[in-house]
Amino acid sequence: MSGREWFTHFFDASYVAALREEKPLRQTRLEVEFVLRSLRPPEGARILDLPCGYGRHAALLARRGFSVVGVDLSIAMLAEARRRFTEGPRLRFRRGDMRRIAFREEFDAVINLYTSSGTSPPCRT
């Protein structure tokens, strides 16, 4: 694993497998409620989930009527997101690097949750 950009390979299929059951739906609901209470987005707001991981927050926000785009660098995370959640008019997943996004004023809110901004690789046993 390269020390400088460890995250480009760390979030692979084995990481996704370990994460699958780590966060119960109840926890995700609480996190989404916190986001909505904190941001108070207007009805139907456009939300960018960056990075989205396997889409657990993006999917719940879309179910609540928001238009959500989830962006992640990890191919494995995006594959899991698409396996778990159906993309449609309110939910889209795209591959991209959060350090180089091309969006300009398309969203009403941007969320960044979980292990998104680490500066060193998490320990993996």
Per-residue pLDDT tens over the stretch 78-111: 999 999 999 999 999 999 988 888 888 899 999 9
Name the β-bridge partners of 109.
47
Residue type, 91: L
Residue type, 32: V
- Size of the chain, expressed as the number of residues it contains: 125
pTM of the model: 0.81
Is there a contact between 20 and 81 (Cβ–Cβ < 8 Å)? Answer: no
